[in-house]
Structure 1
């Protein structure tokens, strides 16, 4: 949790550094490599497994939210912030792998069909400074008042989507005491995992909160939502810097979840 993206002004540079610090250790990017899939961690959660054929990564890309789909949010690929493959994300407890993958848009189950992007809250501050000399403490504080949500879609054959959901549910229980993560060579520590209410709108959902160690400077809490609709699984992970600076949990925006689920069959 130590990478920085840099930025035009020191205020936005600080935001970039913190955003990567929070996201990198517990997330990943999209991948088309089938061998990156999670292992089967149990039997189907239900007997109503969809018989539909899995969508391809290209088909999933078309189902992702596009610019203008959610009022007040900018849509971006998110590729610059996240590891590219499951191979780049390793935990010290295999049961926790689906949690680490879900936080960054990777498929939590065994599939090579995956697509992801990000939505950033689009705030338009008035009177923004135009030079470093004009940056005030208030400008720096306001720069942290943003949230960014990473959205991942993955598709499965047979009852694969239900098995993916069970892997996440089992992982929440198995990893309640925390786990270590290495992403792109950076080490991070999740100190606690707890189940939260799952998002509405799908056939099945699992929500979980993770407390993340901030390099010895306390912890920050982030929420992840994993929702199955048919044989497609959608994952949502939010870094909310307004919540972080106020000591609150970073919750996934319901508007983003509902807009994305509405695009799935």
Structure 2
């Protein structure tokens, strides 16, 4: 089964999260017809002094960490997410910002980027393994994993990054080809989704991905700007994927992450 880079990585992480949950137990979720862009700034707000981009090291400190959001575990994305944009290629330049945002990479022109993953704790992880029911075991696969990326920009770079994403949703509505780590997949449709309205500006989009001829699966991505920092969110849930549904981006993660941005 072929997936987009984020979906493939998400499946791997979901299995890892499940294994971790079971080991721990043994030892001790946007509609397409809603408005997808929310802007809170007036047209004249850009008259403020030019912003200076944060460094990647500074962005790392702003990522959600362990204990920041109840029932979510934070882990570094260094070993699971693409390290550079050169690892994620599309067959249409206008679609690049969408693919980058999905892979927790900067959707705009900057080298300042940091990323991690937030995994929802399965309820069965805290149970005595001898008391696990069939439903507990089945629900253990109902694990939501969210890839979070932060990027920072000089001047109006953050605004341009959001515009590139918004423009990409329109330009790529008919889909595009994607190649990541020598694995190819096909996005068959891109559509506007309802954004959270967080930060100064936000864009959300849904992508239908061809699952190797076995129908399509829908994946959601949200991009939020606060000042000159951009946060991207992309979630995967194996249970929802298996049922042909879509994974909702946990609202509490978006709220908590944007609150940490300067």
Residue of structure 1 equivalent to 2:68: 69
Q: Which has the higher helix share?
A: 2
CA RMSD in angstroms, aligned pairs only = 2.6
Higher relative contact order (CA 8 A, sep 6+): 2
Residue of structure 2 equivalent to 1:171: 168
Deviation at 1:12, TM superposition (A): 4.7
Residue of structure 2 equivalent to 1:120: 119
1:27-176 equivalences in 2 (<5 Å): 46-49=43-46, 51-125=50-124, 126-128=127-129, 141-176=138-173
Query: Which ranges in structure 1 are unaligned for 5 or more consecutive residues?
Result: 14-44, 130-134
| 8 Å contact kept, 1:12–1:143 | no
Deviations 1:51-110 (A, max 9, x none): 221100000000000100000100001233222110011000110000000012100000
Query: Which ranges in structure 2 are unaligned for 5 or more consecutive residues?
Result: 21-41
CA distance in 2, matches of 1:56, 1:241: 34
Residue of structure 2 equivalent to 1:229: 226
Is the counterpart of residue 215 in structure 1 residue 207 in structure 2? no
- The number of aligned residues is 228
CA distance in 1, matches of 2:102, 2:43: 24
CA 1:7–1:110: 2 relative to 1, 3 Å: closer
| 8 Å contact kept, 1:203–1:227 | yes
Q: TM-score, normalised by structure 2?
A: 0.79
Q: 1:185 aligns with which of 182, 191, 205?
A: 182
Q: TM-score, normalised by structure 1?
A: 0.78
Deviations 1:195-244 (A, max 9, x none): 01122221111000011111221111111010010010110000022322
CA 1:57–1:245: 2 relative to 1, 3 Å: same
Deviation at 1:140, TM superposition (A): 6.2
